[in-house]
Amino acid sequence: MNLMSVASLRFYAELNDFLPEESRGKELTRYFSVGGSVKDFVESFGVPHTEVDLVLANGKPVDFSYPVRDGDRVSVYPVFESLDISSVTRVRPAPLRALRFLLDVHVGRLAAYLRMAGFDALYDNQASDAELASIVAREGRVLLTRDRYLLMRTAVDRGYWVRSTEPKQQLLEVVKRFDLAGSMRPFTRCLDCNTILEEASREAVWERLPPKIMDQNVFRVCPSCQRVYWEGSHRERMSKLLRWVKANAPAPPRGVKFVSGAGPGGSNR
Ligand SMILES: [Zn+2]
The answer, yes or no, to whether residue 159 has pLDDT greater than 70, is yes
Residue 90 pLDDT class (50, 70, 90 cuts): low
CB 109 within 8 A of CB 164: no
Q: What contacts 24+ positions apart, CB below 8 Å, involve 259-263?
A: 259/86, 259/88, 259/89, 259/90, 259/94, 260/93, 260/94, 262/63, 262/89, 262/90, 262/91, 262/92, 262/93, 263/63, 263/91, 263/92, 263/93, 263/157
Q: How far is the CA of 27 from the centre of ligand 1 (A)?
A: 50
Q: Give the global pTM.
A: 0.76
Chain segment 30-69, per-residue pLDDT in tens: 999 888 999 999 999 999 999 998 999 999 999 999 999 9
**What is the mean pLDDT of the segment spanning 116-134?**
94
Q: What is the pLDDT at residue 179?
A: 81
Burial, 183: exposed, middle or buried (Cβ in 10 Å; 0-12, 13-18, 19+)? middle
Strand arrangement of the beta sheet that strand 159-161 belongs to: 120-123, 100-103, 142-145, 159-161
The more confidently predicted of residues 261 and 45 is 45
**What is the mean pLDDT of the segment spanning 101-107?**
95
The answer, yes or no, to whether residue 97 has pLDDT greater than 70, is no
Residue 6 pLDDT class (50, 70, 90 cuts): very high
Residue 82 pLDDT class (50, 70, 90 cuts): very low
Strands 60-62 and 28-32: unpaired
Average pLDDT, the chain: 84
The answer, yes or no, to whether residue 89 has pLDDT greater than 70, is no
Q: What is the pLDDT at residue 14?
A: 87
Q: How far is the CA of 105 from the centre of ligand 1 (A)?
A: 19
3-state secondary structure of 159: strand
Q: What is the pLDDT at residue 20?
A: 95
Q: What is the pLDDT at residue 92?
A: 56
Q: How far is the CA of 229 from the centre of ligand 1 (A)?
A: 10
Q: How far is the CA of 196 from the centre of ligand 1 (A)?
A: 8
